Amino acid sequence: MIHKEDLITPGQKLSFNIPALHLDNHLDPKTDLLGVSCSPAKLSGPRWFDAMQGPVWNVNATHYGHVDCLDSAVGLVGGLMCPSKPLANKKKYREMLAKTVTTFLGAVLDGKTDDLALLEDASNFDVEVVVKQDLKGLAHSDVKAGCTNNGIIV
């Protein structure tokens, strides 16, 4: 028996609070030759960002799709179903992802909260990105690792 359970209900916040880094791609909601998107807008990017109850940083790589972080051969095959720009510098994109995750984890886990400002300025990235954040009224110095459950689990 298949039981459908959505983690996110549009218009509602998640039942837990945790600092989050949301990595996003401009190409993800684009459709393939059959008109199918492997990451439709109504199920991806904004849906996740808007549902976060804790502070969240979004970095959207504008010239990439989610398969562009894969090795070349796998990405080439994945690019048949998922949007990709074959000539985009995938190595540079993968390096940006690693640097971004390292910056976020260092800020949250190692107390380098001043580094969160780096995630809020598109000029700090080696590929073209659009950034946004919602600190939920917190200062960078108030962002701490941890998760608080604010809802009832059924």
Establish if 37 belongs to a structural domain: yes
pLDDT classification of 22: cutoffs 50, 70, 90:
very high
Residue 82 near residue 65, CB atoms below 8 Å: yes
- CB-based contacts of 143, cutoff 8 Å, min separation 6: 19, 55, 107, 108, 113, 116, 135
- Extract the tokens encoding 69: 């972080």
Token pair 């941890």 is at which residue?
146
Residue 27 near residue 90, CB atoms below 8 Å: no
Confidence (pTM) = 0.86
Strands 129-134 vs 16-17: parallel, antiparallel or unpaired: unpaired
pLDDT classification of 83: cutoffs 50, 70, 90:
confident
Is pLDDT of 62 > 50?
yes
Give CA–CA dist 81/76, Å, rounded: 10
Enclosing domain of residue 106: 23-135
Token pair 């390096």 is at which residue?
95
pLDDT reported for residue 96 = 96
Most confident of 9-23, 45-59, 74-88, 96-110: 96-110
Give CA–CA dist 20/4, Å, rounded: 25
Higher-scoring residue by pLDDT: 21, 78: 21
Establish if 12 belongs to a structural domain: no
- Residue 131 to residues 1, 60, 64: CA-CA distances in angstroms? 41, 6, 14
pLDDT reported for residue 59 = 97
- Extract the tokens encoding 82: 């998922």
pLDDT classification of 154: cutoffs 50, 70, 90:
very low
Is pLDDT of 39 > 90?
no
Establish if 110 belongs to a structural domain: yes
Establish if 130 belongs to a structural domain: yes
Is pLDDT of 80 > 80?
no
Q: Chain-wide mean pLDDT for the chain?
A: 86
Establish if 11 belongs to a structural domain: no
pLDDT reported for residue 72 = 64
- Residue 58 to residues 3, 27, 100: CA-CA distances in angstroms? 31, 15, 10
**Total domains, the chain:** 1
